[in-house]
A = this chain, B = another copy of it.
Amino acid sequence: MSIQVAVVDDHALIVQGLQRLMEQQPDIKVVATYASGSALLDGLKQHLPDVLLLDIQLPDKSGNELARMVSKLYPGLKIIALTSMDTIFHLKDMMQHGCKGYVTKQAGEEVLLEAIRKVHAGEEFMEAELEKRWMKSLLKNRKEQAVQTPLSRREKEILKLIASEYTNQEIAEKLFLSQRTIESHRYSLLQKLNAKNTAGLLRIAVQMGLVEFE
């Protein structure tokens, strides 16, 4: 029996392209497609595929959150992150949240097909290039654990406001807190995210899906 695949991506063009591709594969079949995280969660209740191709940038939910939820609800389901983000940050993030594979849209079809088949067979799959970079970063930094430190609710809230061009003082007024408190949080954010300044915070906020500019 062929591998049953579900696709989650808000880009119809990509979903349709993938369907067309899979049609030509004798052993792979697209059984469902979703354009949002909530649609996916609803759909999985009806029918469970073998493999899930999951985009990170979705309109409603962030990719890691979704991966965490889905892999917890359906431990047998193999998730492959399929995204345009080719950073170690995201690779790690997704693999640590239950994904079994990571493929970028920069990669060709053959890579994706290989990923689906390997992951279905129980293996893990990452693009060679990314895996190499990951290994290198592991060897370099032992303090990577610091980077893993998750952000608290308050920190995320403040990060969002920073990204929205508010100054510490304005954030303090908005949240009825002392300006010094915001400074503290901001300092923690810089530490946790290993950023140097506001620009760095913004970059990571975008990468984490906390803020959307586009």
Contact = CB atoms under 8 A, between A and B. Distances in A.
Contact of A207 (B16, B198, B213): B213
Interface stretch (A41-49, A100-108, A116-124): A100-108
A13 B57 contact: no
A17 interface: yes
Contacts of A90: 214
A85 B16 contact: no
A199 B165 contact: yes
A14 interface: yes
Most B CB within 10 A of own CB, among A87, A108, A165, A196: A165
Interface string A104-133: 111111001000000000000000000000
B12 A214 contact: no
Given A11-B84, A13-B105, A13-B107, A197 B198 contact: yes
Contacts of A12: 105-109
Copies in the complex: 2
A200 interface: yes
Contact of A214 (B196, B198, B207): B207
Contact of A13 (B87, B109, B167): B109
A32 interface: no
Given A12-B107, A165-B197, A203 B207 contact: no
Most B CB within 10 A of own CB, among A106, A107, A207: A106
A73 interface: no
A18 interface: yes
A22 B196 CA distance: 47
A20 interface: yes
A83 to B, nearest CB: 8
| 3 closest A-B pairs by CB | A17-B17, A11-B105, A12-B108
